[in-house]
Structure 1
Amino acid sequence: MQTIDMTEFQSIDLRIGTIVRAEDFAKTKKPAYKIWVDLGDLGIKKSSAQITFHYRPEELIGKQVLCVCNFAPKQIADFMSEVLVTGFSDIEGHIVLATGDKPIPNGAKLH
């Protein structure tokens, strides 16, 4: 594993936000959802997420998720993904979202 120093870690803008909208994303090669995340002062940002195995769109609403906010936007089919919603692979390789275990203000940074 490659190591990084604290300066490199601090250059990654990791923030918590609340999913306010989610819908199927039929135009992707792999099953995915279009997700809108309220990131407080940063506003509502869009993301494409391949999380269809463990989640349905309606159960994502209100869930807080950890996002990488300073990646360059990425065009996915006809949708511009502005943040990366993070998660972990379960034993079968399906993504489980990275979340907080208590309510956190939208836009709060990871320390």
Structure 2
Amino acid sequence: MPIITFKEFQKMDLRIGKVIKAEKVPNTKKLIRMAVEIGEGEIRQIVAGMAEHLRPEKLQNKNVVVLVNLEPKEFMGLESRGMILAADLDGKPILITPEEDVPPGTKIR
């Protein structure tokens, strides 16, 4: 991976998000569609390939780390407007979550 500058890092809008709703995308093995509150009442649809390892009901009401300013991408006709960050442990996603309850929209720096 290339080294980036601090100025480049500052371009990333990382925030705490709260998963309001999560459901498996029909006719797929990997995709989960989530409604995630990212602060000030804004709710974004985020689609992630986690369904083989995480049940949607386990994501409900969970605080997660979201990359908010990632360009939108379409999966199976669904627009995803952000990315949930997770560690990759042998192909299994391990969600990055705050140690304490933090309001949606809290900036990560």
TM-score between both structures, scaled by the size of structure 1: 0.90
CA distance in structure 1 between the partners assigned to 2:108 and 2:32 by the alignment: 24
CA distance in structure 1 between the partners assigned to 2:21 and 2:38 by the alignment: 13
Instruction: Kindly indicate whether residue 39 of structure 2 is the aligned counterpart of residue 12 of structure 1.
Output: no
1:4-83 alignment, distance < 5 Å: 4-28=4-28, 30-41=29-40, 43-83=42-82
Q: CA deviation at 1:26?
A: 2.4
CA distance in structure 1 between the partners assigned to 2:43 and 2:58 by the alignment: 18
- Would you say the 8 A contact 1:17–1:39 is kept in 2? yes
Deviations 1:29-63 (A, max 9, x none): x5110011111126001111112243211111110
Runs of 4+ in 1 over 6 A off after TM superposition: none
Deviations 1:48-101 (A, max 9, x none): 1112243211111110110111111111112110011110111x2111111111
Aligned CA-pair RMSD:
1.4
User: 1:96 is matched with which residue: 94, 100, 105?
Assistant: 94
Q: Aligned residues, how many? A: 109
Identify unmatched segments of 5+ residues in structure 2.
Answer: none
- Would you say the 8 A contact 1:27–1:77 is kept in 2? no
Percent of aligned pairs with the same residue?
A: 32
Higher strand share: 2
TM-score between both structures, scaled by the size of structure 2: 0.91
